[in-house]
Structure 1
Amino acid sequence: MTGLPTEPQALAVESYRGLSLDPDRAGMLNLAWTTDEAAFLAADVFALVADELAAEAAGGLPSVRDYRLQDPYGEQALTAAVDAFFGLDGGHGVSAGAGVGPLLRELVDLGGRSPILTLSETYPDFPAWAARRARACLVWQPADAGGEDAVGIGRHVAAALRAHGASLIFLERPALRPAPTDDLAVVEAIGRAVAGRGAHIVIDESNANYCPPEFSAATLTSRLDNLIVVRGLSKAYGLGGVRLGYCVSSAPATEQVCRWVAPLQASSLALRIGRGVLAMGDIAQPLRARVSAQVGAATRVARQAGLAPAPAGRGLPYLLFPPDDDRPDRAETTLRALAEHGVQGKAHVSWGARGHAGTVRIGRISVPLDADRAAQFARRLGAVGSDTVDQADGIDGIDGGENAEGEDSGEGGENGEGEG
């Protein structure tokens, strides 16, 4: 048990203050987030949105006029598309909201005021909302189980739940950095181990758009009674502005979702667009392959420049520069040095990381997927044409050294995604 980290002082959105939101410009390659993913999807999601909007206008704005009073959670609108996407066949519920964040904000009230057990490092939002509701968030990382198998991890979680009187479990998957809960068998074992205690498991799977549908814990909702999986359309799809999130939950848990989540959050037009995107099926396969290749390439470039990036979680298009004991300010110094060389990264705010009380800032760059942008990245870091890593030749202001994590760059792996 890591203990009780301090309450996050701000939500994740605050990390964007002062950060340029402009696209690439002369002298600066913006890698604060991914801007070139859509070209590597197997279908054009923006064309689908345009077609849906055109059809909406041509049809006399039926969705705009539809208040959906008889489908207040969007279950009728989305269930068929969700089932087809994840290969589900009953035993679950579907509930929509105005994005992943608003859904999580309301699900933080599940289980009253008893403590929440957090099983991965997360964005600071969920623990911040919990603290504002006078609810403690405790951290227990499955990695602390020390080589236990899935069943053993489940037993440890159940013991921690019992010891601290917790009634809600929260985690992100894939987590920002590799975590045991990225393994579906571990999630199922935890669900079974805590089922008798009436605890619910809320999983933020925003990042799982970078993984194949079968990765999702939504596929467990017919086998567990206590699971709530929250997903959106921002990551990979680039449709955050649609403001649609949805829960796939075990049938018994769906009643609790509807108890705490306000109805009529998602607009009828957002539901129409979301249904169309999900009905396209797994269009992210070529994106996953591209991310895997470019994470490997960007890692080599970074190492050639004297950097030692840490691996991100499964399928994620990031290079990470977390602080360590020798360099507690590593994120800030790395980001400043990158900016001096024309690359803008981002300070990713994380809560509950092992060895840290409260929030920690992790330097992050989103790997460039477009070939021209990847070439710019290599040129700016002075690594064009080199296939060898020379840690002694670091760029000014950045320390080289071995990769403290001792793991590979995330190349390869099942389904071409890489597991970091």
Structure 2
Amino acid sequence: MRPAQRLAVTAHARQPHPGDEALDLRWSPDEARFSAPLLEHVWTGLLRCAPAELGERARHYAVRDPFGARRAAPVLSAHFGCRFTPEHVTVGAGTTGLLHALACLAAAPATVLHLAAHHPDLPLWARRLGARTVPPARSVEEAAARAARHTPSLVLAERPAVDGTLCTAEAVGRLADVLARTGDGDGLLVVDESYACYGGPQVSVAPLVARHPNLVVLRGVSKGYCAGGLRTGFALASPRATARLRNVAPPLAAGELGLHAALAMLAEGDVFAGLRARVAEVRPRFLRMLRAAGCTVPVPTPGEGDGNEAPWLPWTVVADDARTRTVLEHRRILGKEVCTVPPSPALLRLSVPLSDERERAVTEALTRRG
């Protein structure tokens, strides 16, 4: 398969149309109701501006703050409860845009190491630029051992990963320390926390940036906030790592209105308590029904007692095996293929039904006999 066909976004585009009778659990349309009040609040405040002021915002060309850092740093400091200066912040066109820029730092003759249960985009981009990729690790601990052997220029870790596993902050710190001791000490550890917003700012490793100059933490507003169309992402790193990133990241990548809205949402703090409460209520029932219906649910299952799992994610994973496929196809349930690479097993992602209507539909489908 050509690299462009293996990117996460093109994989989504290949997903089949569900049809009128299928129960589509690839996405979480009912998740949006939890973020809708916040979005309405943000946009209502913006629309209260006079038309001339809105026009001025749209015309503003932020050449004096081309990476959005001066405007974002105070908001991000308050959000994560630690001090960031503009020299710590780079704003890009979503986390995807920032990942693409970081791939440029891994051009030939660099070596890239990533974890198996991760999106493939950055390693694919890096390979196009001539970088060497080593076999992916199954955990952050294994990545630390491989980093000591291969001296990579860049290590990518998603937190949580697409299979729902959440490495600890201590493990991230140890991996950053290993990278600092290998090679010339310039290896970067990139932690993509796109999914971590569900757990609130308190679960982030962003405060570790102050202690690990080779750590880059990515955040955005696509997941949870349901505002991916704003195309606004944030990279938090030491001044030295920030300078390296800005050498390859395009300036003025975030639109003015999108940046304003994204910062307004982050300024509200942890807004996902209600969503976490609903996930905690529904998810155990959902997992029990999946198992009872015959689906292969990996053990340990996210949220069921393992300290390395993220119980607040509004989705779970099941094995993409013949048994599970048969169960889901018989009940006309669609799951999303997870973009992972070996040795990670093939997985399907199923959204937790959050609305009463979707939970009733899921219950009817999974408990159906015959």
- Decide: shared fold, TM above 0.5: yes
Give the equivalent residue in structure 1 for 2:340.
Answer: 350
Give the equivalent residue in structure 1 for 2:319.
Answer: 322
Mean alpha-carbon deviation: is it higher for 159-168 or for 247-256? 159-168
Mean alpha-carbon deviation: is it higher for 39-48 or for 273-282? 39-48
Asked if 1:161 is matched to 2:147, the reply is yes
Map 1:15-414 → 2, pairs under 5 A? 15-19=11-15, 27-41=21-35, 43-55=37-49, 57=51, 59-90=53-84, 93-113=88-108, 114-141=110-137, 143=139, 153=141, 157=143, 160-177=146-163, 179=165, 182-196=167-181, 197-310=185-298, 311-312=301-302, 313-314=309-310, 315-323=312-320, 327=321, 329=322, 333-334=325-326, 337-354=327-344, 361-382=346-367
Task: Give the structure with the higher percent helix.
Answer: 2
CA distance in 2, matches of 1:77, 1:273: 12
Is the alpha carbon distance of 1:378 and 1:363 closer, same or farther for their aligned partners in structure 2, counting shifts above 3 Å?
same
Q: Number of paired residues?
A: 355
CA distance in 1, matches of 2:209, 2:116: 20
Aligned partner letter, 2:9: V
Q: Deviations over 1:244-298 (max 9, x none)?
A: 1111112221111111111110011111111101011100122122222222121
Q: TM-score normalized by structure 2?
A: 0.87
Aligned partner letter, 1:189: R
Is the alpha carbon distance of 1:39 and 1:290 closer, same or farther for their aligned partners in structure 2, counting shifts above 3 Å?
same
For the residue of structure 2 that corresponds to 1:282, the secondary structure is coil
Aligned partner letter, 2:92: G
Aligned partner letter, 2:122: F
Shift of 1:178: 5.1
Shift of 1:242: 0.9
Mean alpha-carbon deviation: is it higher for 158-167 or for 286-295? 158-167
Shift of 1:225: 0.5
Shift of 1:95: 0.9
Question: Are the equivalent residues in 1 in contact too, given 2:230–2:259 (CA < 8 A)?
Answer: no
CA distance in 2, matches of 1:269, 1:241: 11
Unaligned runs of 5+ in 2: 303-308
CA distance in 2, matches of 1:35, 1:73: 32
CA distance in 1, matches of 2:323, 2:295: 11
Shift of 1:307: 1.8
Aligned partner letter, 1:236: G
Shift of 1:374: 0.6
Aligned partner letter, 1:285: A
Question: Are the equivalent residues in 1 in contact too, given 2:75–2:267 (CA < 8 A)?
Answer: yes
Q: Deviations over 1:66-108 (max 9, x none)?
A: 0101110001121111111101123661111111111101101
Unaligned runs of 5+ in 1: 1-5, 145-152, 384-394, 397-420
CA distance in 2, matches of 1:71, 1:30: 42
For the residue of structure 2 that corresponds to 1:95, the secondary structure is strand
For the residue of structure 2 that corresponds to 1:102, the secondary structure is helix
Q: TM-score normalized by structure 1?
A: 0.77
